[in-house]
Structure 1
Amino acid sequence: MTPPLNSIISRLHLKQLRLLIALGDHGSLLKAAQQVALTQPGASKALQEIETTFDTPLFHRTNRGLEPNEAGHCVIRYARLIHTDLSHMREEMVGIERGQGGRVAVGVIMGAVPRLTDAITAVIARNPDMSVEIVEDTSAALLSQLDAGRLDLAICRTTISQTPQFYESIKLQDETLAVVANVQHPLRRAKKLALQDLAEYRWVVYRANMPMRLLLEREFRDAEIRFPLHLLETTSAFATLAVLQSNPSFVALVSIDVAQFFARHEMTCILPLHLASRSEPYELVTRKGAPLSAGAKLLIEQLRGEDGGES
């Protein structure tokens, strides 16, 4: 039975976490011991103490060395996360000492990536020593990372959450949508398109029950057209772009900011299809009551100070 959290905290040491990471990297007790400046007997004793702390074996002993079992993979993964968090803490403290922005971790849904990167560019220009981590994911995943303290802020939607009252949110901008395609798409030179014109093409879309997907389904339903059966589902802007560039007949629904960015760099074209529906606005979201780092405050000020997008 896994020991209580307080027991693990009181018995586990940072050097033991370093040993776990080294064992995960090398699979050899000798090499791991050398990496963390321990003797092999010292490393063997430390590993025994770790397994005693968790009350379970973490490695299979084989002729090739030590191979993590399922529990071992779990513990090593979290050891790496703790090590990364400590590194980020140090970066932020160095920034505070120097009177600079330190470090900020920000999440973003695909459609708001251009807005966020413009803001980050402006902030870094004034704070060149500031470190930034960008996490692109769905609103649900980003809110989960906000809850865990792994993100300082996020540009996403709280409407998907069952507990929106846990967040501070500010409407950042409305989201207008556009349909994009390969620059060699058969309809690239059309002056005006109806949804029926694109109904038989393969669509790259968000997965079911996500706001942008629901909006597209509503457009098809209102037009009394069967929704396409064979879809390619992704939440990644890069995957969407790569698919469109590899398949001249595919089309995708993205935010107008993303569409204009792709088109500006001649990566895709925007098809002349007007969509009657609007997606929900982006929100600038933080965890209610959570302290904000200096870097987070700088980025929030920049995002709030910019003009709104298309409406």
Structure 2
Amino acid sequence: MTSAIHPDGGAGTIATGRFDPTRLKTRQLALIVQLDIHRSVLRAADAAHMTQPGATKLLRELEETMGVPLFERHPRGVEPTWYGEVLIRHARSVLAELRHAYDEVSALKAGLTGQAMIGTEVTAATNLVPQAVALLKKRFPQIRINIEMEFSEVLVQRLQEGKLDMIVARIRNPDDLAELHYAPLAEAQHALFARAGHPLVKRKALSWDELAPQTWILPPKGNVMRNQFTQLFLELQLALPTDVVESSSLPVITSLLQMSDMIAPLAREPVRPYCIAGALEPLPFELDLKLGPAGIVTRRGDRLSPGARAMLQALREAAGFDTQGPDAESD
């Protein structure tokens, strides 16, 4: 139970004037964290590898520096005051940052090695992720990168299971945001594509009535694009296409498009190279398909390995995010 001592209760007077961080010791921060865990000076001192008198002295000096009581003493042990809870929270952050700094320095001394496991949906797989990987390998050629391309739903599950370090995906379930850190990217634009020279490409405009009877290539049922596509047809009170080929593989889809008169809804960015090469063309139709933005996703509170952190930084740089700001790493 938290102590009743509250900042408004006048239990202590906070020192005024400019704060001097040189008066704080790392051992003091480590001690108050252990005190919060064990609620006993003896057990906390043992966990912090110091004597009980030494721990008592460090705590007293820290309270004098801060000008407030940080713990209430009871016959059964100690409990943090409101002031103590604030300082403990920051002490944990400081110690975590120092551990990260040590890991990074050690990794750099040895020539950063290790691996990073990243998952991506198809749009990011054609541009953002390759840019980030190229940037990382230029800096740290010894890091081994494993890239998986899947639907967002699968990627989120694999991230939550700890099988991936980070993903570029959409989050459809708001409950997932409680345990995941999500930095949104710009939303992808979609269009209907067909082979170059397809009879429908030459038209000035197309209607849903003309498109519905075509042979469609669609993602399997349960995929976010398939769900949005189905919802769009239902809202327009149109019968769903019956002549359908299901595939989630971009190479398969683009090959089918090039060798037939099939059509497919696709994000513009991954198909751009095929259009530049003259293999595919967008149909003259405004496809109002809003899937929501994908984002760079990590687990909240997860401590990434040095290699994975380097991959995350490269990914954020490639996306144009601020790598030095408060949101530069997962929470």
Q: One fold, TM greater than 0.5?
A: yes
CA distance in structure 2 between the partners assigned to 1:152 and 1:289 by the alignment: 12
Return closer, same or farther for 1:121/1:195 CA change in 2, 3 Å cut-off: farther
Q: How does 1:107-256 map to 2 (within 5 A)?
A: 107-114=119-126, 115-160=128-173, 163-246=176-259, 248-256=260-268
Aligned to 2:316: 304
CA distance in structure 2 between the partners assigned to 1:157 and 1:139 by the alignment: 6
Return closer, same or farther for 1:97/1:215 CA change in 2, 3 Å cut-off: same
CA distance in structure 1 between the partners assigned to 2:277 and 2:115 by the alignment: 30
Q: How does 1:6-17 map to 2 (within 5 A)?
A: none
Conservation of the 8 A alpha-carbon contact between 1:172 and 1:304: no
CA distance in structure 2 between the partners assigned to 1:267 and 1:255 by the alignment: 16
Amino acid at match of 1:135: E
Conservation of the 8 A alpha-carbon contact between 1:194 and 1:274: no
TM-score, with normalisation over the residues of structure 1? 0.61
Match for 1:276 among 273, 285, 288?
288
Percent sequence identity over aligned pairs = 23
Amino acid at match of 1:137: E
Return closer, same or farther for 1:242/1:99 CA change in 2, 3 Å cut-off: same
1:236: Cα distance to partner? 1.8
CA distance in structure 2 between the partners assigned to 1:197 and 1:97 by the alignment: 64
CA deviations 1:186-242 (Å, max 9, x no partner) are: 222333333333211111111223221122223323333211012212222222223
Report the count of equivalent residues. 214
Aligned to 1:292: 304
Conservation of the 8 A alpha-carbon contact between 2:213 and 2:243: no
1:155: Cα distance to partner? 0.7
SS in 2 for 1:281: coil
Unaligned runs of 5+ in 2: 1-105, 321-331
1:161: Cα distance to partner? 7.1
1:285: Cα distance to partner? 0.8
Unaligned runs of 5+ in 1: 1-93
Larger Rg: 2
CA distance in structure 2 between the partners assigned to 1:191 and 1:285 by the alignment: 41
Amino acid at match of 1:107: G
1:103 aligns with 2:115: yes
1:291: Cα distance to partner? 1.5
1:135: Cα distance to partner? 0.3
CA distance in structure 2 between the partners assigned to 1:102 and 1:266 by the alignment: 41
Return closer, same or farther for 1:204/1:101 CA change in 2, 3 Å cut-off: farther
1:250: Cα distance to partner? 0.6
Conservation of the 8 A alpha-carbon contact between 2:131 and 2:318: no
Return closer, same or farther for 1:237/1:161 CA change in 2, 3 Å cut-off: farther
Amino acid at match of 1:179: L
CA distance in structure 2 between the partners assigned to 1:170 and 1:200 by the alignment: 39
RMSD between aligned residues:
2.5
